[in-house]
Amino acid sequence: MQLITVEELINYKILPFNIYTKGDKLLFPAGEVLTPGKFLQLRHIDVIYRNLQEEKVGQVSSQPVEEPAIQKPAAQKVSVSQDVAPVITSEKESAFDATDIKNTVAIINKESKIPADEQIRLKVFYENTVGDITKIDPDKILSRMKELRDKIQNDYTSVLDKAIYSSQFRLLGDYDRCHAINVAMLTAALSRKLGKPEDFIREITLAALLHDIGKICLPKNLVFKQGMTIQEQKLYQAHTKIGYNLIKNKMNLGERIAKVALEHHERNDGTGYPHGKSGDLISLESKIISVCNFFDNLTFNRTQHKINNTKEALKYMLEIGSKGFAIDILYTFVYMYNYDDTKAFEDMVM
């Protein structure tokens, strides 16, 4: 008998072995599809184990059959025509430039220094990429993410460096289409402000684009739900471990990038998740992205603390201070752009 945790089972889409609870009671047989609902059931069970002797006799593989099922987020305000052309039309053509946006309606940030058509293309390109993650080769997914990374680092460098306010390059609209890109752009700008070399910025910008990738394995209604139960919170928090597994084992990227997905909700005082790490136990890349991630969540009003503009968001982050963030990184971020950005978010919408 070998005890197994729910977190370990998250690595499987289809059970490759039987799992039992006390009294040798069979919970789910090998071959069972592990849906989010089944994970919630398992959260209520104290003891879960697998029978290694049974597996040896039956020659049941103990390796994951497949990664967790990945669900494409549904559109909220942005709709893309069903006959949108494939993102990649040829190996030589830029996937980003080939993205068809002619039938797309999207919210535009009129204050942004990024042209309106580019804002739309960024959203659609990202949506198409994560939406296809179960349908195409992981190498192609990674190739698209790297192209998006290069777009941010190369084409938008002048925008990021010359902006007076951070809102001048922020994407507005659907959180699930904008968040990762916003975090990546903020991360690139902050890393440059911290004096990091270009190879570090390339790597951390890619990590920022992938930091929330685990959420696409969760039920859509859970990702956007307010007021979760304790069980739902535990399942939601598992997106950090799922993301780590996807990046490390499916995309075959290094530990430094994968760790960001795992650690971006850790807090400097040790009260974060999933492992309650604190201080120097959290990687530098995770500390940087944690600041950018929290800021974008604040400006989308995805936290319990509601704000109306960028200045209020920065003020609140300063109030949290070293409890939540590495203080040197926080101060650099807060004063990276003009602090006095009081324009209401709704007034930025075109």
Rounded to an integer, what distance in angstroms lies between the CA atom of residue 123 and that of residue 174? 9
> What pLDDT was estimated at residue 77?
41
Q: Which of 23, 39, 58 is the endpoint of a domain? A: 58
Same domain as 173, residue 35: no
> What pLDDT was estimated at residue 148?
95
Rounded to an integer, what distance in angstroms lies between the CA atom of residue 6 and that of residue 9? 5
Same domain as 314, residue 226: yes
Same domain as 125, residue 41: no
> What pLDDT was estimated at residue 55?
59
Q: Which of 12, 39, 58 is the endpoint of a domain? A: 58
Same domain as 173, residue 40: no
CA angle at residue 167 from 72 to 185, to 5 degrees?
55
> What pLDDT was estimated at residue 37?
67
Same domain as 133, residue 35: no
Domain range for 341 is 116-348
Whether 171 and 124 have beta carbons less than 8 Å apart is answered as no
Q: Which residue has the tokens 């994968």?
A: 258
Same domain as 132, residue 47: no
User: In CATH, what number is assigned to the domain containing residue 124?
Assistant: 1.10.3210.10
Same domain as 310, residue 236: yes
> What pLDDT was estimated at residue 136?
56
Instruction: Supply the pTM of this predicted model.
Output: 0.74
Residues facing 19 on adjacent strands: 28
Q: Which of 58, 86, 103 is the endpoint of a domain? A: 58
> What pLDDT was estimated at residue 238?
92
> Residue 249 has which token pair?
């084992």
> What pLDDT was estimated at residue 2?
79
> Residue 1 has which token pair?
């008998």
Q: Where are the extended beta strands (E) located within the chain?
A: 2-3, 19-21, 25-28, 49-50
DSSP 198: H
Whether 67 and 13 have beta carbons less than 8 Å apart is answered as yes
Same domain as 164, residue 24: no
> Residue 280 has which token pair?
């120097």
Same domain as 246, residue 147: yes
Residue 50 lies in a domain: yes
Closest by Cα among 226, 231, 242 to 274: 242
Cβ neighbours around 224 below 10 Å, total: 14
Same domain as 286, residue 145: yes
The residues of the chain scoring below 70 in pLDDT are: 11, 13-14, 31, 36-37, 40, 53-93, 132-136
Q: What DSSP letter does each residue of 135-172 carry, written as one string? A: TS-HHHHHHHHHHHHHIIIIITHHHHHH-SSGGGS---
Residue 13 lies in a domain: yes
Residue 66 lies in a domain: no
Same domain as 54, residue 120: no
Q: In what order do the strands lie in the sheet with 25-28?
A: 2-3, 49-50, 19-21, 25-28
Distance between alpha carbon 177 and the CA centroid of its chain, in Å?
A: 11
Residues facing 2 on adjacent strands: 50
Residue 91 lies in a domain: no
Q: In the chain, helix, strand, coil percent, each to 5?
A: 50, 5, 45
3-state secondary structure of 3: strand
Residue 73 lies in a domain: no
Residue 96 lies in a domain: no
114-126 pLDDT, tens digit each: 999 999 999 999 9
Residue 218 lies in a domain: yes
Same domain as 173, residue 245: yes
- How far apart are the two ends of the chain, measured CA to CA in Å? 61
Number of domains composing the chain? 2
Strands 19-21 vs 25-28: parallel, antiparallel or unpaired: antiparallel
Residue 250 lies in a domain: yes
> What pLDDT was estimated at residue 76?
37
